[in-house]
Amino acid sequence: MVAIDPDFQQKRQVVDKHFEHDIWGPVEAPEVLGIHGTHVAVDFDICIGDGSCIEVCPVDVFEWFDTPGTNPHKVHPELPAMIKDAKADPIREADCIDCMACETACPVLAIKISV
Ligand code: F3S
Ligand code: F3S
Ligand code: ZN
């Protein structure tokens, strides 16, 4: 099973910012997009656009971010098919109350909350 690397902060580098959050590389846009966020981290190369995280978050941390041309199967060929060509972007990461609902809800384990 694919899952976001829980040790990504030790293994990856911050390569850019997006809104108020960091992007952890490597990034080869548009296909490979890295991990968005740190406290609320979403591996954009695992996210298949399921949207459960957006539905369950009680404080609306996430917004859809359109990612035309993204190809998570390049990094993880075993992933199920994409549901939506967009990612759950943790644009209000600072509002997270650590309820963990998103981490639990994501069917492909793309989210890691670091408390
Ligand atoms: Fe929301 Fe996930 Fe935090 S559901 S409150 S972003 S742990
Ligand atoms: Fe993506 Fe998982 Fe949310 S697939 S949209 S991070 S539930
Ligand atoms: Zn982002």
CATH number of the CATH domain containing 54: 3.30.70.20
Asked if the model's pLDDT at residue 76 lies above 90, the reply is yes
State if residue 88 touches ligand 1 by the CB under 6 angstroms criterion. Answer: no
Residue 72 lies in a domain: yes
Contacts within 8 Å (CB) and 24+ apart, 97-102 = 97/58, 97/59, 99/57, 99/58, 101/53, 101/56, 101/57, 101/58, 102/40, 102/52, 102/53, 102/56, 102/57, 102/61, 102/62
Report the number of distinct structural domains present in the chain: 1
Residues measured by CB to lie within 5 Å of ligand 3, the ion: 18, 36, 89
State if residue 113 touches ligand 1 by the CB under 6 angstroms criterion. Answer: yes
Distance from residue 44's CA to the centre of ligand 2 (Å): 9
Residue 1 lies in a domain: no
The 10s digit of each residue's pLDDT in 23-67 is 999 999 999 999 999 999 999 999 999 999 999 999 999 999 999
Residue 73 amino acid letter: H
| Structural domain span for residue 55 | 8-113
pLDDT of 1:
82
Question: What is this structure's pTM?
Answer: 0.98
115 vs 65, more confident: 65
Residue 18 lies in a domain: yes
